[in-house]
Structures are given as C-alpha cells and as structure tokens.
C-alpha cells in the first residue's frame, strides 16, 4: 500500500486520487475553523504561495472530531477559509481523522509516523497536553491524531517522513520542506 492508493472527496464533492500528487512534496493537515490553532491557515497559505511552483502541495482536511470545532458545512468551511485566510490550496470534505471512523489515509499516516508525545518544554504544548489529560484523556491514547492542525510531511516518492503536532507552526517546517524540494 502506498499513499497514492487513496481516493478522497474534495470539499466540492469531486473524487480526487492521491496518485495525482506523485512527484510532489505534500503537507497533509487536519483543520478546524473554530480552534485556537486556526490562524495556522495563514502560514499554510504562505508556504503554499512560496513553494507551490517548486512542487509543494498542501492538502487540508477539515474535521469536527475535536471539541466540535468544525461545525459548519463543507461550503461554509470553504468560504471561511477563502474569506479569512485566502486559502487556495486543496481542501477536502469534512473527514474523520481518528478512531474507528478515521479515513484510511489518516490510519496510514499515523501508522507510518506514530505519536511521539508533545514537547512539554513548549508552553502551548504543555497547555494542550494538560487540557487533553483533563478533558479528553482518550485522545492521548495510541498513535491517532491528537488535535486539529496535526501536519504530516510527505516526500516526492510518497514516503511519510514527518509528523508535526498542532503546536508546531507551519513556518517552522520550512527547512524540512526546502530539503525535500531540493532547495
């Protein structure tokens, strides 16, 4: 099985085969419009604009699995992202990214790069870990996605090479992205 074997639905409802991204560097990210990490859309869009011509694609997957922070319809999500952050990278329909109902793509991603914990020296990571321990302890079990804006980095050959937890800003991934792009 390869990352290119998966098919998904765009936010507009068209089927998209991951095989169309062969030869591209990918950031695959689960998103939400009403999350403290939502401003990461801005940095994701900035990376997309800067590196799209070099072969970077960003694939956003809205999910309502974390404290119901993505309650809107696919159309509402798309409009929110466009109006507030100018998002022009590919968004997909609302998707479950963890648990028994997780889309197989996210099962594949979390199998390839398991959860290694939060950097508890980072103040926001410490706070997120504390909130999850207190209110959603089940989310800390296993390798599933833990919260909105977990990012997976995929090289041009389809290898999942990195997992960046929500507290990692997209711009801090620049060095890793440039390396994969050969810059």
pTM of the predicted model as reported, rounded to 2 decimal places: 0.95
Q: What are phi and psi of 73, to 5 degrees?
A: -75, 170
pLDDT 10s digits, 38-71: 999 999 999 999 999 999 999 999 999 999 999 9
Domain boundary assignment for the chain: 3-181
For the domain spanning 3-181, the CATH number is 3.40.30.10
> Is 81 a catalytic site residue?
no
Q: Which residue in the list 16, 35, 67, 113 is annotated as catalytic?
A: 35
Rounded Cα gap, residues 93 and 16, in angstroms: 11
pLDDT 10s digits, 113-147: 999 888 777 778 888 888 888 988 888 888 999 99
Q: Cβ contacts of residue 79 below 8 Å, gap of 6+? A: none
HEC readout, 66-107: CCCCCCCCHHHHHHHHHHHHCCCCEEECCCCCCCCCCCHHHH
The structure tokens listed for 127 are 């706070």
């Amino acid at each position: 099985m390869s990352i290119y074997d998966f098919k998904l639905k765009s936010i507009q409802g068209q089927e998209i085969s991951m095989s169309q991204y062969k030869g591209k560097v990918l950031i695959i990210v689960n998103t939400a419009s009403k999350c403290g990490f939502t401003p990461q859309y801005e940095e994701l869009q900035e990376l997309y604009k800067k590196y799209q011509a070099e072969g970077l694609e960003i694939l956003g997957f809205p999910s309502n699995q974390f404290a119901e922070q993505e309650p809107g319809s696919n159309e509402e999500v798309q409009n929110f992202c466009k109006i507030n952050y100018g998002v022009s990278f590919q968004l997909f329909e609302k998707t479950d990214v963890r648990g028994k109902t997780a889309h197989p793509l996210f099962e594949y991603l979390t199998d390839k790069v398991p959860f290694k914990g939060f950097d508890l020296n980072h103040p926001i990571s410490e706070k997120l870990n504390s909130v999850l321990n207190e209110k959603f302890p089940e989310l800390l079990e296993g390798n599933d996605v833990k919260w909105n804006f977990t990012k997976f980095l995929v090289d041009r050959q389809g290898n999942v090479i990195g997992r960046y937890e929500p507290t990692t800003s997209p711009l801090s991934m620049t060095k890793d992205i440039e390396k994969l792009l050969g810059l």
